Amino acid sequence: MMPATEVEVAIIGGGISGLYAAKQLQRRGVTDLVIIEAQPELGGRVLSTSSIRSNAASPTAVSCSLPSYDLGGAWHWPAHQAKIKQIFEELGVQTFADSHDGDLLVEQSSYRPPTRWSAKEPESVFWRVQGGMTHVVNTLKKDVEDAKVLLSTAATAITTLDGVDKVRVDCSTGTTITASHVLLAIPARIAAAKISFEPALPSSVRSTWESTPTWMAAHAKYVCVYSTPFWRDEGILGQVLSTAGPLSEIHDVTDLNGTHGGLFGFFALDAQARAKQSDEELKRACRGQMVRLFGPKAAEPLADYIKDWSRDPFIATEADARVDGGRGPGPSYTIEGSSLEGKVRLIVSEASPEFTGYLAGAFMAAERGVEDICKARR
Ligand SMILES: Cc1cc2nc3c(=O)[nH]c(=O)nc-3n(C[C@H](O)[C@H](O)[C@H](O)COP(=O)(O)OP(=O)(O)OC[C@H]3O[C@@H](n4cnc5c(N)ncnc54)[C@H](O)[C@@H]3O)c2cc1C
């Protein structure tokens, strides 16, 4: 792309909301667009183990041939989230329900063996995408030409241009993009902290953006991979609740083919406590917990991975890393009371009127932004 370019729509952020917005805009005839993504890869809070190196005991060559496991958003709940079910069907991605066939483990102390509880069918069944959520990212990306995607490019400023009804987006690479519409597909807190707006954001908008926690940004996932899901042979589900830690909640993330066994856990330690240990120390503690829970076969995973979202500079702010804010009240979707109103819209998942913070919310927020741009063009 030229250092100075003009497009109809600039989409800032290449996670699910940004990518789905691009797909929907193109479907509706708006093809003059660009996606600006700060990271070298698309996906945002959707990331798979194949994107990061396992610096576990295993050689990288082994981890390259393993299935992909989600390090970010993974589950959806089609019984309640009709929209995401419909979108996955349209995209032709295969989905499947998590199994509930087996006992769950409850660990109350690292000195006592866990107790087994027979798992009940949950009120809402958790579903996953075969190949992980990055399969959805890759499927969405297929519809967007490479030339329309700027990777490793962070938007740094958005400025109203006088007299032309357009805005200018300045980027970290020196590129400037002039656009009639901007879709901000980035966390509200990141937008408030990292992008300078001219004119300045009205204080009411700034305060809703700053006080909107980015869902799950405070968390970290640990994923470990084995040659088989051996725990299933003993009637164990792979689901664990632990007050002993370091992982508080563990789930079986083996894929539909079951060619390897995958487990993932959320840390009980908060971001500050995690920051005091190296990833290798944390992994050692996690492997120790896996042995306590699943026996000696769990001692040496083929690969294991940690993704700490609180350290991702384009997802979490200091406020997110300090406290897990859960899901807050929705941030302002438009920049009311400013000349940026009607030109800049927030379409990250947290801005969705429904399923705020969830994957389903990312699709729905994108749809609203696209609908409003299409209305404005008529
Ligand atoms: C650990 C974890 C587990 C989760 N589990 C689930 C789950 O099981 N089910 C579920 O429904 N949801 C889950 N979620 C939430 C789900 O992942 C998100 O709702 C969804 O991915 C948000 O997509 P998005 O496109 O709206 O935003 P994001 O994915 O946050 O995308 C924002 C993008 O903008 C980019 N960006 C930021 N600043 C700039 C800038 N200045 N310039 C250019 N680009 C920028 C970022 O790099 C990123 O790619 C989970 C999230 C995490 C972190």
User: 169, 156, 170, 185: which is closest to 373 by C-alpha?
Assistant: 185
Check residue 84 and give its pLDDT: 96
Question: Is the separation of the CB atoms in 213 and 351 below 8 Å?
Answer: no
Average pLDDT over the chain, rounded to an integer: 93
Complex ipTM > 0.90: yes
Own/partner pairs for 206-210, CB < 8 Å, 24+ apart?
Answer: 208/329, 208/330, 208/331, 208/332, 209/331, 209/332, 209/346, 210/319
- What does the pLDDT average to over 155-169? 94
Taking 60 as the threshold, does the pLDDT of residue 148 lie above it? yes
Ligand 1 binding pocket includes 16 (Cβ within 6 Å): yes
Check residue 162 and give its pLDDT: 83
Name the residue type at position 205.
V
Pairing of strands 155-161, 95-97: unpaired
- What does the pLDDT average to over 184-207? 97
Which has the minimum average pLDDT: 186-195, 328-337, 349-358?
328-337
- What does the pLDDT average to over 347-355? 96
Ligand 1 binding pocket includes 137 (Cβ within 6 Å): no
Pairing of strands 95-97, 261-267: unpaired
Higher pLDDT, 350 or 61: 350
CA–CA separation, 191 vs 315, rounded Å? 10
Q: Is 370 helix (H, G, I), strand (E, B) or coil?
A: helix
State in Å: Cα 315 to ligand 1 middle: 7
Mutate to test the pocket of ligand 1, among 23, 45, 266 (most ligand atoms within 8 A of CB): 45
State in Å: Cα 296 to ligand 1 middle: 36
Ligand 1 binding pocket includes 246 (Cβ within 6 Å): no
Which has the minimum average pLDDT: 115-119, 190-194, 270-274?
115-119
State in Å: Cα 46 to ligand 1 middle: 6
Check residue 328 and give its pLDDT: 72
For the chain, domains (ranges, CATH) are 1-48+133-213+328-378 (3.50.50.60), 50-131+218-311 (3.90.660.10)
- What does the pLDDT average to over 29-58? 87
Ligand 1 binding pocket includes 46 (Cβ within 6 Å): yes
Pairing of strands 155-161, 196-198: parallel
Ligand 1 binding pocket includes 253 (Cβ within 6 Å): no
> What is the residue with the minimal CA distance to atom 38 of ligand 1?
314
Higher pLDDT, 57 or 262: 262
Task: List 5's β-bridge partners, or say none.
Answer: 177
CA–CA separation, 109 vs 338, rounded Å? 56
- What does the pLDDT average to over 171-188? 98
> What is the residue with the minimal CA distance to atom 14 of ligand 1?
73
Ligand 1 binding pocket includes 223 (Cβ within 6 Å): no
- What does the pLDDT average to over 18-22? 98
Q: How confident is the model at residue 57 (pLDDT cuts 50, 70, 90)?
A: very low
Could you list the beta-strand ranges (E) of the chain: 4-12, 33-36, 95-97, 103-107, 115-118, 127-129, 149-150, 155-161, 166-171, 176-184, 196-198, 220-226, 236-242, 247-252, 261-267, 303-308, 344-346
CA 7 to chain centre: 27
State in Å: Cα 22 to ligand 1 middle: 16
Check residue 1 and give its pLDDT: 64
Residue % of the chain over a pLDDT of 70 = 95
Check residue 58 and give its pLDDT: 46
Ligand 1 binding pocket includes 155 (Cβ within 6 Å): yes
Ordered DSSP codes for 83-130: HHHHHHHHHT--EEEPP--SEEEEE--TTSPPEEEEPPPPSS--EEET
Question: Is the separation of the CB atoms in 244 and 110 below 8 Å?
Answer: yes
Ordered alpha helix ranges (H), 165-254? 188-194, 203-210
Ligand 1 binding pocket includes 265 (Cβ within 6 Å): no
State in Å: Cα 41 to ligand 1 middle: 13
CA–CA separation, 38 vs 156, rounded Å? 10
Q: Which residues of 271-283 are buried (b: 16+ CB within 10 A; e: fewer)?
A: beebeeeebeebb
Taking 50 as the threshold, does the pLDDT of residue 233 lie above it? yes
DSSP percent split of the chain into helix, strand, coil, nearest 5 = 30, 25, 45
> What is the residue with the minimal CA distance to atom 21 of ligand 1?
45
Which of the 8 DSSP states describes residue 52? Answer: S
Q: Of all atoms in ligand 1, which is nearest to the CA of residue 217?
A: 53
Helices then strands, each counted (H, E), the chain: 10, 17
> What is the residue with the minimal CA distance to atom 4 of ligand 1?
73
CA–CA separation, 196 vs 194, rounded Å? 7
Question: Is the separation of the CB atoms in 59 and 173 below 8 Å?
Answer: no
Taking 90 as the threshold, does the pLDDT of residue 53 lie above it? no
Residue % of the chain over a pLDDT of 90 = 87
Check residue 378 and give its pLDDT: 82
Structure tokens at 127: 């579903």
